[in-house]
């Protein structure tokens, strides 16, 4: 009997973001990706959300290494936080490591890891793990699918992928290698990207965007062209730059991550822009509009990004107007639609022309659609299947697709965050759970608990009412107040009568407490909160946060 192998999902199954899984062989743990998730509107003031690292902290002595599939934030953005808890070496393509390194370095955690670059197709022994790195195409270059050759057979993880048959850099997904593993050893288990499991058809090649962008440059020969896309989308940047140069324009970049990633990709030979084609953003003002192309960050409408500032007329370097055409070569991530819409509105208001993915094919997805998912399933022919990288609905559709493709339903597992899966000689099945809640981060460090988040939600939706009252410490008699201060409940200057009634309600509540003999601080506080809360709800049907401040003298 061969040793069993375990999989532990710490994030990314049940949501898009904070991808993190563990593979366990001979009691050792290999972490596959460590990403973050961007907060939604239900999380006011939260900067990012991480996987719960409790399991890794509790088993720190068993952790062998971390392997990266690619350099997107939802796969590498959690590393700088993980490294606070444990020292761990990281393996990935040079570009993935380069992108991950930025944040790790900023957090001062570089000393707690060693970065090991791996090549396309390389097979590495990492402790007891035999890992093969198989090239895939995606919206960042040099992504991998990873094949783990384990005592329980081959586990193939697709990573984020699409099947782009005409990739911009000529580096195709190595489907042949996957087919070879399938026919030689067989694939025991496939874990595959579910992001676009609801989308029928096939994604368009990244190259198609290049043609559309080039056509737009031709259509607006007299305008300044400003293009935004993800700063890690090196192939997109290459195509924009090629179109700009072909139309006699020089390129300026805007946004810190754009400048950083372009520098990194050029130094690695992954992005080809001649020095002579680049100009400092400070000098753009001196050039004719039709000789300039600006590539900027801010494709998600992030409030302080270069593009959002442009749309608000507050960008330090660029004043947008009727002489500009702005191309959003991107698609809003769910939750960001409103911010992106606001930016587009702002740009139109300033007189600019705006081209977005709703108007022209200036963006294509980096994630496989149904026909591509079927292609991978048919080449890998896995004995068992677990859909990953998706919300529950995406996982469900992907699971059904696998069933249609002939994977027996008894061997399709719909796993979620926190699930542990065990592979033995005879079965693949659920084998317990580990903590996998959201770890909320506000600012650089610091875990914000659910309590804080609940408070913020109440404050955002219902406002706050603070009541300040001074009482005699011995008798409980009210000496001054109650004074009522509110934000977001009623507009105080116009609600004096209501506030007067609220003060009376508080006094009545305090009287009730002292009549029953309650003099202590906690009792007075509780009665104040209850009386005011009741009054506020009865009169206005609202439930703002009530904050009693009792001062004893
Ligand atoms: Zn991803
Ligand atoms: Zn990705």
What single string gives the DSSP state of each residue in 408-445? Answer: -GGGB----TTEEEEE-SS-EEEEEE-----EEE-SSS
Q: For residue 409, how far is its CA from the centre of ligand 2 (angstroms)?
A: 28
pLDDT at 450: 64
Q: For residue 157, how far is its CA from the centre of ligand 1 (angstroms)?
A: 13
pLDDT at 141: 97
How far is Cα 519 from Cα 527, in angstroms, rounded to an integer?
A: 11
Q: For residue 143, how far is its CA from the centre of ligand 2 (angstroms)?
A: 8
pLDDT digits (tens, 9 = 90+) for 300-322: 998 888 999 999 999 988 999 99
How far is Cα 160 from Cα 371, in angstroms, rounded to an integer?
A: 15
The phi, psi pair for 326, rounded to 5°, reads -110, 125
Collapsing DSSP states into helix, strand and coil, what is residue 546? strand
Does position 204 have pLDDT exceeding 70, yes or no?
yes
User: Quick check: 439 and 46 in contact, CB under 8 A?
Assistant: no
Does position 258 have pLDDT exceeding 70, yes or no?
yes
Does position 481 have pLDDT exceeding 70, yes or no?
yes
Identify the CA nearest to 131 among candidates 63, 56, 60, 67: 67
Does position 452 have pLDDT exceeding 70, yes or no?
no
Which ligand is the nearest neighbour of the Cα of 365? 2
Output the six-digit token pair for 490: 């009623």
Collapsing DSSP states into helix, strand and coil, what is residue 14? strand
Angle at 202 between CA 198 and CA 205, to 5 degrees: 130
pLDDT digits (tens, 9 = 90+) for 500-540: 888 888 888 888 877 777 677 778 888 888 888 888 888 88
Which ligand is the nearest neighbour of the Cα of 72? 2
Burial category of 388 from C-beta neighbours within 10 Å (exposed 0-12, middle 13-18, buried 19 and up): buried
Which ligand is the nearest neighbour of the Cα of 144? 2
Does position 40 have pLDDT exceeding 80, yes or no?
no
Identify the CA nearest to 444 among candidates 4, 50, 7, 29: 50
Does position 440 have pLDDT exceeding 80, yes or no?
no
Helix, strand, coil content of the chain in percent (nearest 5): 35, 25, 40
Across the range 140-149, mean pLDDT stands at 98
What is the set of active-site residues?
A: 193, 367
How far is Cα 437 from Cα 18, in angstroms, rounded to an integer?
A: 11
Residue 67, C-beta contacts closer than 8 angstroms, at least 6 positions apart: 30, 31, 32, 33, 90, 91, 92, 126, 131, 146
Categorize the per-residue pLDDT at 407 as very low, low, confident or very high, splitting at 50, 70 and 90: very high
Burial category of 494 from C-beta neighbours within 10 Å (exposed 0-12, middle 13-18, buried 19 and up): exposed
Does position 113 have pLDDT exceeding 90, yes or no?
yes
Alpha helices in 300-362 (DSSP H): 306-311, 337-349
Does position 86 have pLDDT exceeding 90, yes or no?
yes
User: Quick check: 121 and 133 in contact, CB under 8 A?
Assistant: yes
Q: For residue 535, how far is its CA from the centre of ligand 1 (angstroms)?
A: 49
Does position 295 have pLDDT exceeding 90, yes or no?
yes
Category of 336 on φ-ψ map: left (φ > 0), alpha (ψ -120 to 50) or beta: alpha
- Tell me the residues surrounding ligand 2 (ion) with CB < 5 Å: 72, 160
Residue 281, C-beta contacts closer than 8 angstroms, at least 6 positions apart: 252, 253, 254, 294, 317, 318
Q: For residue 20, how far is its CA from the centre of ligand 1 (angstroms)?
A: 10
| Lowest mean pLDDT, pick from 339-343, 382-386, 445-449 | 445-449
Q: For residue 72, how far is its CA from the centre of ligand 1 (angstroms)?
A: 6
- Tell me the residues surrounding ligand 1 (ion) with CB < 5 Å: 74, 160
Across the range 96-100, mean pLDDT stands at 96
User: Quick check: 216 and 225 in contact, CB under 8 A?
Assistant: yes
How far is Cα 155 from Cα 165, in angstroms, rounded to an integer?
A: 25
Output the six-digit token pair for 203: 């994604």
Which ligand is the nearest neighbour of the Cα of 162? 2
Residue 455, C-beta contacts closer than 8 angstroms, at least 6 positions apart: 545
Q: For residue 183, how far is its CA from the centre of ligand 1 (angstroms)?
A: 28
Q: For residue 459, how far is its CA from the centre of ligand 2 (angstroms)?
A: 35
Q: Which residues pair with 191 in a beta bridge?
A: 157, 386
Helix (H) or strand (E) holding 225: strand 224-228
Across the range 321-350, mean pLDDT stands at 92
Helix (H) or strand (E) holding 147: strand 143-150
Q: For residue 472, how far is its CA from the centre of ligand 1 (angstroms)?
A: 60
Identify the CA nearest to 56 among candidates 81, 92, 76, 91: 81
pLDDT at 390: 96
- Output DSSP code: residue 236: H
Q: For residue 140, how far is its CA from the centre of ligand 2 (angstroms)?
A: 7
Return the sign of the alpha-carbon dihedral for residues 338, 340, 346, 348.
negative
Angle at 470 between CA 467 and CA 472, to 5 degrees: 145
Across the range 338-361, mean pLDDT stands at 94
Q: For residue 355, how far is its CA from the centre of ligand 1 (angstroms)?
A: 26
Which ligand is the nearest neighbour of the Cα of 230? 2
Q: For residue 1, how far is its CA from the centre of ligand 2 (angstroms)?
A: 37
Across the range 94-123, mean pLDDT stands at 95
How far is Cα 526 from Cα 520, in angstroms, rounded to an integer?
A: 10
Collapsing DSSP states into helix, strand and coil, what is residue 380? helix
Does position 368 have pLDDT exceeding 60, yes or no?
yes
Is the pTM above the cut of 0.95?
no
Identify the CA nearest to 207 among candidates 258, 172, 177: 172
The phi, psi pair for 23, rounded to 5°, reads -115, 135
Categorize the per-residue pLDDT at 93 as very low, low, confident or very high, splitting at 50, 70 and 90: very high
Percent of the chain with pLDDT over 70: 96
How far is Cα 351 from Cα 345, in angstroms, rounded to an integer?
A: 10
- Distances 265 to 55, 235, 240, 261, 276 between C-alpha atoms, Å: 35, 10, 15, 6, 17
- Output DSSP code: residue 281: G
Which ligand is the nearest neighbour of the Cα of 15? 1
Return the sign of the alpha-carbon dihedral for residues 218, 219, 221, 227.
negative
Q: For residue 291, how far is its CA from the centre of ligand 2 (angstroms)?
A: 33
Residue located via tokens 């050039």: 287
Output the six-digit token pair for 96: 């993935």
How far is Cα 220 from Cα 353, in angstroms, rounded to an integer?
A: 10
pLDDT at 117: 98
Output the six-digit token pair for 15: 């949501």
Output the six-digit token pair for 98: 């380069």
Across the range 90-114, mean pLDDT stands at 94
Categorize the per-residue pLDDT at 72 as very low, low, confident or very high, splitting at 50, 70 and 90: very high
- For the ranges 177-181, 285-289, 445-449, the maximum mean pLDDT occurs at 177-181
How far is Cα 373 from Cα 42, in angstroms, rounded to an integer?
A: 32
Task: Return the biggest CA–CA distance within the chain.
Answer: 86
């Amino acid at each position: 009997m061969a040793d069993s192998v375990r999989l532990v999902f710490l994030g990314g199954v049940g949501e898009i973001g904070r991808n993190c899984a563990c593979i366990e062989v001979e009691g050792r743990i290999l972490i596959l990706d460590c990403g973050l998730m961007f907060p939604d509107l239900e999380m006011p003031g939260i900067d990012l959300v991480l996987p719960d690292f409790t399991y890794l902290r509790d088993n720190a002595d068993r952790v062998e290494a971390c392997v990266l599939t690619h350099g997107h934030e939802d796969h590498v953005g959690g590393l700088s936080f993980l490294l606070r808890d444990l020292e761990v070496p990281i393996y990935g393509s040079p570009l993935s490591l380069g992108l991950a390194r930025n944040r790790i370095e900023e957090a001062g955690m570089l000393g707690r890891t060693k970065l090991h670059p791996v090549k396309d197709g390389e097979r590495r022994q990492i402790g007891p793990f035999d890992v093969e790195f198989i090239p895939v195409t995606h919206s960042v270059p040099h992504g991998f699918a990873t094949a783990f050759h384990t005592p329980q057979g081959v586990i193939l993880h697709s990573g984020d992928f699409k099947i782009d048959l005409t990739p911009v850099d000529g580096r195709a997904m190595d489907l042949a290698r996957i087919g070879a593993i399938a026919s030689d050893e067989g694939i025991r288990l496939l874990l595959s990207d579910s992001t676009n499991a609801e989308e029928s058809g096939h994604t368009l090649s990244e190259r198609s965007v290049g043609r559309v962008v080039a056509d737009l440059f031709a259509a607006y020969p007299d305008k300044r062209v400003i293009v935004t896309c993800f700063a890690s989308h090196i192939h997109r940047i290459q195509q924009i730059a090629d179109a700009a140069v072909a139309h006699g324009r020089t390129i300026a970049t805007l946004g810190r991550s754009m400048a950083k990633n372009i520098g990194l990709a050029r130094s690695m030979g992954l992005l080809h822009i001649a020095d002579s084609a680049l100009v400092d953003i400070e000098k753009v003002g001196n050039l004719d509009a039709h000789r300039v192309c600006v590539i900027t960050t801010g494709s998600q409408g992030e409030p302080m990004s270069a593009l959002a500032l442009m749309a608000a007329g507050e960008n330090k370097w660029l004043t947008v107007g009727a002489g500009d055409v702005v191309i959003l070569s991107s698609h809003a991530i769910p939750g960001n639609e409103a911010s992106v819409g606001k930016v587009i509105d702002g740009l139109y208001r300033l007189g600019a022309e705006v081209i977005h993915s709703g108007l022209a094919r200036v963006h294509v997805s980096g994630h496989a659609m149904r026909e591509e998912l079927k292609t991978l399933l048919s080449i890998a022919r896995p004995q068992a299947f677990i859909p990953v990288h998706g919300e529950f609905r995406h996982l469900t559709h992907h699971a059904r697709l696998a069933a249609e493709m002939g994977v027996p339903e008894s061997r399709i597992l719909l796993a979620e965050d926190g699930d542990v899966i065990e592979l033995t000689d005879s079965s693949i099945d659920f084998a317990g759970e580990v903590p996998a809640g959201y770890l909320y981060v506000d600012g650089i460090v610091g875990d914000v608990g659910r309590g804080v988040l609940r408070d913020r939600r109440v404050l955002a939706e219902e406002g706050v009412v603070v009541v300040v009252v001074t009482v005699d410490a011995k008798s409980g008699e009210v000496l001054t107040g109650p004074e009522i201060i509110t934000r977001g409940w009623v507009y105080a200057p116009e609600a004096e009568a209501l506030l007067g009634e609220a003060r009376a309600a508080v006094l009545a509540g305090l009287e009730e407490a002292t009549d029953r003999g309650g003099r202590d601080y906690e009792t007075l506080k509780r009665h104040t909160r209850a009386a005011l809360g009741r009054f506020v709800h009865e009169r206005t049907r609202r439930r703002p946060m009530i904050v009693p401040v009792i001062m004893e003298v």
